[in-house]
Amino acid sequence: MTQTDTSLNRLEQTAIDSVPAGLYIGGEWRETATTMPVLDPATGQVLCRVADAGPADGLAALAAAADAQRDWARTSPRERGDILMRAHRALLEDVDRLALIATLEMGKPLAEARGEIAYAAEFFRWFAEEAVRLDGGYMPAPGGNSRFLVARQPVGPSLLITPWNFPMAMATRKIGPALAAGCTCVVKPAEQTPLCTLALARILHESGVPAGVVNVVTTSDPGALMTPMILDERSRKLSFTGSTAVGKKLLEQCARTVMRTSMELGGNAPFIVFDDADLDAAIEGALAAKMRNIGQACTAANRIFVQRAVIDEFARRLAERMAALPMGRGTEADVVVGPLIDGDAVAKVTELVADARERGARVLTGGESVDGPGNFYPATVLVDVPDSARMCHTEIFGPVAALTPFDTEDEVVTRANDTPYGLVGYVYTEGLRRGLRVCEALESGMVGLNQGVVSNPAAPFGGVKESGLGREGGLVGIDEFLELKYIGVAL
C-alpha cells in the first residue's frame, strides 16, 4: 500500500471548496443551525462540513417541490429535455472536478470516479430523449359507443433517497426520469457522500432548472428528516436506493398513504463459470464484477461458482491478478483498491472472512486487514467457501472473491437461487443453449451472459425478490414517475 499523506493538495482543496455547503430549497441555498462533517475514507480526515437538516427543513423542501409541481408539469417536454441535456453537457465538461469530489468523499479510484460521472451524465441524456416520447393510447370501447383515451401524467412531488456507493449516478438515475416525466423532487443523499449531490444541485440550477423543481437536503438523522415527509400527503412518490433492511422500513411507512414506490435494494449476485467458458473473459469479468467500486456495489459478484474441472486454474489466475492490484488512496495513480467507506465496513469484511475460514475456506491472497490510517482491506481470494458461510448470505461489500466449486447445471442454479435477493447474476459459458437456459432459470432482474458489468442507462436496471420493486433506466424507467389516466369519451 502506498503511504497516505493526510493533507489535501491545492487541487483537492479547491474541488472541496467549490461545493456549496447548504441546503438547496426553492432555488436558494440555506444554512442550518448545525452542520455535519464529511470524511475522507482514505484518511479519516474531515474534508468539510455541510448543512444538517431537521424535520422542518425537510417539510420546507417538500413545500417548495409541491409549489413548483403544477408549473413544472406544464413545461413543455422539449424544454424539460433541453434542460436535462444542458446538465448532461455540464457534467461532462466538469468531469475532472466532479470525479475528484466523488473520490475524496467516497474513496473510489479516480478512474472509476470519472467513469461514474460519465455514467451519471448519460442518465440525463437518456431521459432528455425520453421526455419527448410520453405517448398514450386511443381505442374504441368494445361496445363501440365510446372511446378510450389513455394519458401518462407525472405522479407528482417525489422523494429521492440515494446511497453512498455511487453518489452521483444514483442521483441522476432518479432526478433524470423524475424531471423528464414532469415531477418535482426532494433529494436526500447519504450522510457519508453529500458533496456530489450538492455539486449536482448547482449544475442543475445553472442549467435552468426552475426554483423548487429540485431540492436537496442533507442530514445526519435520515429517519427524523424523512418520516414526516413520507407521511405528508403532498409527497406522491418515494424512489429509494439502499439496503433491503431500510427499504422494508420505508415500504411500511409508504403503506400509510399508499404512496408509489421504487425500491432498488441489496443483492447477492451469483457469478457462474462453466468449464466450457472462455477463462480469460471469465477472469476479466470476475475482476470487473468483484472489484468495481472496491466491491461495494449492489451488483458485486458475491458468490463465485466455478465448475470443478476449471476451479483450480481459475482460482490461481484470479488470485494472481487480485494480488497485483495496487491499494491506496483513490487519488493516487493506478490505484484500484481504494478504502472502504468506513471502519464498520472493514470490521464486517474482516468478520465475514474469519467466519468463512473457520468453516473451511482457504485464503489464496489477502485475508488480513491492514493498519490505518484509512479504511483499507486488501483484495482477497478465498476458495472452498461453503454455502453455510455467512458471506454467502449477506452482501460482502468489499474486495473479497468467494469461490466455491460446483458439478452440474441443475445444482448450480439451485444454489445460486438459494437467497432472498434477486438483483443480478453472471453466467460464463460458450454454450448458447446452456447460457440461455441458465439466464432464464436465475431468479434475478438482470443477468450478464459472458459480461461482468450490466449497468447501462438504456437498460432496465432492477431486481426481483427482496432486491426491489420497479426499474430504473431503459424504456420503462420513466414509467416509475408517471401515472396512467384513462379518459372515457362518449360518442
Which residues belong to the active site? 264
User: Cβ closer to ligand NAP: 295 or 330?
Assistant: 295
Stretch that binds ligand NAP, among 23-31, 44-52, 129-137, 236-244 (CB under 6 A): 236-244
Among 264, 466, 479, 480, binds ligand NAP (CB under 6 A): 264
Determine the interface stretch with ligand NAP among 29-37, 111-119, 137-145, 155-163 (rule: CB under 6 A). Answer: 155-163
* 217 part of the interface to ligand NAP, by CB under 6 A: no
Q: Going residue by residue from 442 to 471, which x/- string records binding to ligand NAP, judged by CB under 6 A?
A: ---------------------x----x---
User: In the block, which residue shows the cell 459480461?
Assistant: 451
| Least distance from ligand NAP to the Cβ atom of residue 270, Å | 15
Interface pattern 374-413 for ligand NAP (x via CB under 6 A): ---------------------x------------------
Total residues at interface with ligand NAP (CB under 6 A): 29
Nearer to ligand NAP among residue 209 and residue 254 (C-beta): 254
Among the residue ranges 19-27, 138-146, 220-228, 430-438, the one whose residues contact ligand NAP (CB under 6 A): 220-228
Q: Which of 63, 183, 190, 389 binds ligand NAP (CB under 6 A)?
A: 190
The least distance separating ligand NAP from the CB of residue 289, rounded to whole angstroms, comes to 14
For the CB of residue 241, give the shortest distance to ligand NAP in the complex, in Å: 5
Residue of 89, 97, 202, 249 interacting with ligand NAP (CB under 6 A): 249
Position 266 contacts ligand NAP (CB under 6 A): yes
Out of 161, 294, 322, 396, the residue judged to bind ligand NAP by CB under 6 A: 161
Binding mask 343-372 for ligand NAP (x = CB under 6 A): ------------------------------
**246 lies in the site for ligand NAP, by CB under 6 A:** yes
Identity of the residue, 90 or 170, whose beta carbon is nearer to ligand NAP in the bound complex: 170
Cβ pair 445, 471 in contact under 8 A: yes
| Binder of ligand NAP out of 4, 43, 158, 165 (CB under 6 A) | 165
For every residue of the chain, which 3-state class applies, written as one string? CCCCCCCCCHHHHHHHHCCCCCEEECCEEECCCCEEEEECCCCCCEEEEEECCCHHHHHHHHHHHHHHHHHHHHCCHHHHHHHHHHHHHHHHHCHHHHHHHHHHHHCCCHHHHHHHHHHHHHHHHHHHHHHCCCCCEEEECCCCCEEEEEEEEECCCEEEECCCCCCCHHHHHHHHHHHHHCCCEEEECCCCCCHHHHHHHHHHHHCCCCCCCEEECCCCCHHHHHHHHHHCCCCCEEEEECCHHHHHHHHHHHHCCCCEEEEECCCCEEEEECCCCCHHHHHHHHHHHHHHHHHCCCCCEEEEEEEHHHHHHHHHHHHHHHHCCCECCCCCCCCCECCCCCHHHHHHHHHHHHHHHHCCCEEEECCCCCCCCCCCCCCEEEECCCCCCHHHCCCCCCCEEEEEEECCHHHHHHHHCCCCCCCEEEEECCCHHHHHHHHHHCCCCEEEECCCCCCCCCCCECCCHHHEECCECCCCHHHHHEEEEEEEEEC
Q: Which of 136, 137, 208, 223 binds ligand NAP (CB under 6 A)?
A: 223
Q: φ and ψ at 85, to 5 degrees?
A: -65, -40
- The residue from 182, 267, 328, 473 that contacts ligand NAP (CB under 6 A) is 267
- Based on the shown chain and the rule CB under 6 A, indicate whether residue 163 belongs to the binding site for ligand NAP: yes
- Smallest distance, ligand NAP to C-beta of residue 402, A: 16
Per the structure block, which three cell numbers stand in for 360?
Answer: 473451511
Q: Which residue lies nearest ligand NAP, judged by its C-beta? A: 242
CA–CA dist 298, 190 (Å, integer): 15
Per rule CB under 6 A, is residue 298 in the interface with ligand NAP? Answer: yes
Binding site for ligand NAP (CB under 6 A): 161-166, 170, 188, 190-192, 222-223, 226, 241-243, 246, 249-250, 264-267, 298, 395, 423, 463, 468
